[in-house]
Amino acid sequence: MRAILESLLALALGVLVGAAVMAAWGRDPWGAYGALLQGALGNLRALTSTLSRSLPLVLTALTFAVAARAGMFNIGAQGQMLVGAVVALSTGLFTLPAGLHLGVALALAGLAGALWALPVALLKLVRGVNEVISTIMLNWVAHWLTLYLVVQKLSDRVVGQRTFLAPASMRFPPLYGELTWSWTVSVGVALFLFWFLWYHRQGYEVRAVGLNPKAARAAGISVPRAMLVALLLGGISAAWAGAIQVLGRFPYAITSDLANLGNLGFDGIAVALIGRNHPLGILGGAFFFGVLATGAARMGLRGIPLEMIQIVQGVIVVAMAAPEALRLLRRVRRRTTAEVPV
């Protein structure tokens, strides 16, 4: 309840500051906020669009959250998401029955995400390399590798601005509007990680290591194993975010500038902070991000400039993410004084 109250107060503060920004430039803030809600939640089609936009953010946020529970700052979801997207799409080069084709694509994408996270784990556990440094470097490797494959190897022969379309046998079945059955992946992974972290022995070990690695080691918990599990699970989750963005959303391809994949990995960090690094809280945080993204177009129709919309969105997001970010920084400060080498 305390966390929920803090989030609501932070949201109210962000909304008020955003309103002050719009009012200072002569705009109607409450009319703009009303338009945002109408554009994101005003009807069933708008609601399904909001949900569809939020689904990959759930998975990239879980990547950051499960690592944070183990005491690490994993910002590699962007690279793992890109690798998962291109591997899932590449599965379309093979002909398989419907259903099985989608399952194989998800399995290969998840494997690719785990393998992309493996060097981060090995560098940290064997050589003590900070995961922030290694994930930043691997993000860029993944970016340029994906761009090369999209432009040079997977490009559509007719429409050069994108890759070939994912075959129908590999797509998630449509549900309504923009929403497809890819929601089962995002919600399923969130529920699984909630169960794993709070009700499974290894999940308990992950959280124990994040709270106090020295005490966890004294209790017989393998700190390296807990960190490895957290990083690999995060890699799978991020890779599936890329997979459902390609196989569960229009245009069912990857654009040549990677625009339809965007910054889902980095946005997931903010979603995780808003959701307090809790799998169930992340579901709400991702939906909140979806509301902001979908409702922005309706705000523009009210005469709010794009730059001002982005400022207001940024203020609200920062206000809501700040409490969890400060808590993590305090935990890191305590760890630096008490932690011994792994």
Given a contact cutoff of 8 angstroms between Cβ atoms, the answer to whether 46 and 294 are in contact is yes
**What is the model's pLDDT at position 338?**
54
Confidence of residue 5 (pLDDT cuts 50, 70, 90): confident
- 11 falls within a domain: no
The arithmetic mean of pLDDT across residues 268-295, rounded, is 92
User: Is residue 241 domain-resident?
Assistant: yes
10 within a domain of the structure (yes/no) = no
Looking at per-residue confidence, does 185 or 1 come out higher? 185
260: domain CATH number?
Answer: 1.10.3470
Residue 183 is assigned to a structural domain of this protein: yes
Asked if the model's pLDDT at residue 193 lies above 90, the reply is yes
The one-letter amino acid at 221: I
pLDDT class of 224 with cuts at 50, 70, 90:
very high
- pLDDT at residue 30 above 70? yes
pLDDT on residue 336: 61
Query: What is the average pLDDT across 181-191?
Result: 97
| pLDDT tens digits, 160-174 | 899 999 999 999 999
pLDDT number for residue 163: 96
CA pair distance 107, 87, nearest whole angstrom: 10
pLDDT (mean) for 39-52: 93
- Residues 6 or more apart from 282 whose CB is under 8 A from it? 58, 61, 62, 65, 190, 271, 272, 275
Half-sphere exposure of 76 (CA within 13 A, CB side): 37
Tokens of 275: 């959701």
Q: What angle do CA 131, 136, 141 make, to 5 degrees?
A: 120
Assess if residue 168 is contained within a domain.
Answer: yes
Average pLDDT, the chain: 91
Range of the domain at 74: 33-338
Q: Residue 319 corresponds to which tokens in the numbers above?
A: 């206000």
Read off the pTM: 0.92
Residue at 27 is within a domain: no
Categorize the per-residue pLDDT at 245 as very low, low, confident or very high, splitting at 50, 70 and 90.
Answer: very high
- Asked if residue 270 belongs to a domain, the reply is yes
Q: Among candidates 205, 211, 248, 269, which has minimal Cα distance to 74?
A: 269
Residue 296: the pLDDT is 86
Per-residue pLDDT band for 341 (boundaries 50, 70, 90) equals very low
Average pLDDT score over residue span 111-129: 95
pLDDT (mean) for 31-49: 92
* 8 A C-beta contact, residue 276 and residue 69: no
Count of structural domains within the chain: 1
Instruction: With CA atoms as reference, report the closest residue to 113 among 225, 236, 254.
Output: 236
pLDDT band at 342 (very low <50, low <70, confident <90, very high): very low
- pLDDT on residue 337: 59
Name the helix (H) or strand (E) containing 243.
helix 223-247
Is the residue at 309 inside a domain?
A: yes
pLDDT digits (tens, 9 = 90+) for 253-273: 999 999 999 999 999 999 999
Position 340 scores a pLDDT of: 45
Q: Which of 13-22, 84-93, 196-205, 272-281 has the weakest average pLDDT? A: 13-22
Mean pLDDT calculated for residue range 194-208: 96
